[in-house]
Chain A
């Protein structure tokens, strides 16, 4: 079945850039998402990218997709303490109704 992998933890200093990586196995993945979960809260959609795109930028967020390597990354520029959260990568395709999530990467931002 589908599998999505992420590293579990990332620590950066405030003001630096953060890069969170994700790999997936399903070559038919069409839609890829980044969700953010703040402490004690549910998940909220941060951004998404379709498989016919290589890059998407949205303010401080940049998503890069390498379809050949099945690798997705989320770059957060000028990381702030408020960015501390768990970030989940997720994927799906048109044949499925549900998402497959990665294990989540806990981002810790040091002041």
Chain B
């Protein structure tokens, strides 16, 4: 079974803090994705990576950066957290092209005060 894990289920941070969200997958998948989920807006793609050290911006990359130093790990970084980044963050991975199923982690609910 594919397993995608996220480092925290719940996180509370203060405005201006640097925040790291970690995601690990155990199936040697090429592609990894970070989404944020907000009520009424569905899932919006922040960044994705199709190989180690490779990344592409998604639809809403502003205020975020990512790091993929190892194939199994994809980190989302909030350089200076703001209250409008309070959200649910979901990581996903898949192998191959876009038609291949994406497997999701359980999500990290981030609250920025």
Contacts and interface: CB of A to CB of B under 8 A. Distances in A.
Contact of A43 (B48, B97, B104): B104
A34 to B, nearest CB: 12
Q: How large is the interface on B (under 10, 10 to 19, 20 to 34, 35 or more residues)?
A: 20 to 34
A97 B97 contact: yes
Contacts of B99: 30-31, 50, 92, 94
Q: How large is the interface on A (under 10, 10 to 19, 20 to 34, 35 or more residues)?
A: 20 to 34
Contacts, number: 62
A98 B107 contact: no
Interface stretch (B13-21, B36-44, B66-74, B75-83): B36-44
Contact of A42 (B4, B44, B48, B56): B4
B33 A98 contact: yes
A93 B99 CA distance: 7
B91 to A, nearest CB: 8
B31 interface: yes
